[in-house]
Amino acid sequence: MAYDNMTDEQWQAIYNKDASYDGKFYYGVKTTHVVCKPSCTSRNCKPENVVIFENLDDAVKAGYRMCLRCRPDNPDWHGAKYDLAERTRKLIEDSYNEEFSLDKLAGELYVNKSYLLRVFKEITGYTPLHYHNKVRCDRAMALLEEGITSIADIGEKVGFASASHFTRVFKNTVGMTPSQYAKTHRKK
**23: containing domain:** 2-66
Which strand (E) or helix (H) includes residue 57? helix 56-61
Compute the distance between CA of residue 10 and CA of residue 17 in angstroms, rounded to an integer. 10
The CATH number linked to 176 is 1.10.10.60
Question: Strand 26-29 and strand 50-53: pairing?
Answer: antiparallel
Same domain, residue pair 141 and 58: no
pLDDT in tens, 42-67: 888 899 999 999 999 999 999 999 99
Same domain, residue pair 52 and 130: no
Neighbour-count burial of 187, counting CB atoms closer than 10 A to its CB (0-12 exposed, 13-18 middle, 19+ buried): exposed
Residue 153 has pLDDT above 90, yes or no: yes
Domain boundary residue, one of 44, 66, 88: 66
pLDDT at 188 (0 to 100): 60
CB 144 within 8 A of CB 182: yes
Active site annotation includes 67: no
Same domain, residue pair 58 and 88: no
CB 128 within 8 A of CB 105: yes
Instruction: Provide the pLDDT confidence category of residue 1 given band limits of 50, 70 and 90.
Output: very low
Please check whether residue 73 lies inside any domain of the structure: no
Same domain, residue pair 87 and 173: yes
Count how many domains the chain has.
2
Same domain, residue pair 7 and 83: no
- Strand arrangement, sheet containing 34-36: 2-3, 50-53, 26-29, 34-36, 65-66
Domain boundary residue, one of 12, 45, 66: 66
Same domain, residue pair 92 and 152: yes
CB 141 within 8 A of CB 169: no
* Type of residue found at 128: P
Distances (CA, A) of 144 to 18, 96, 151: 45, 17, 7
CB 140 within 8 A of CB 166: yes
pLDDT in tens, 79-111: 778 889 999 999 999 999 998 999 999 999 999
Same domain, residue pair 36 and 87: no
Same domain, residue pair 88 and 160: yes
Instruction: Let me know the angle formed at the C-alpha of 136 by 132 and 141, rounded to the nearest 5 degrees.
Output: 145
pLDDT in tens, 23-43: 899 999 999 999 999 988 888
Same domain, residue pair 83 and 56: no
Residue tagged active-site, from 36, 45, 67, 137: 36
The CATH number linked to 16 is 3.40.10.10
Distances (CA, A) of 92 to 11, 58, 87, 101, 132: 40, 42, 9, 10, 6
Please check whether residue 58 lies inside any domain of the structure: yes
Please check whether residue 72 lies inside any domain of the structure: no
pLDDT in tens, 69-82: 888 988 776 777 88
Please check whether residue 171 lies inside any domain of the structure: yes
Same domain, residue pair 37 and 62: yes
Same domain, residue pair 44 and 18: yes
Same domain, residue pair 50 and 130: no
Give the single-character DSSP code of 44. Answer: P
Please check whether residue 114 lies inside any domain of the structure: yes
Nearest to 83 by CA among 115, 41, 123: 123
Domain boundary residue, one of 42, 66, 90: 66
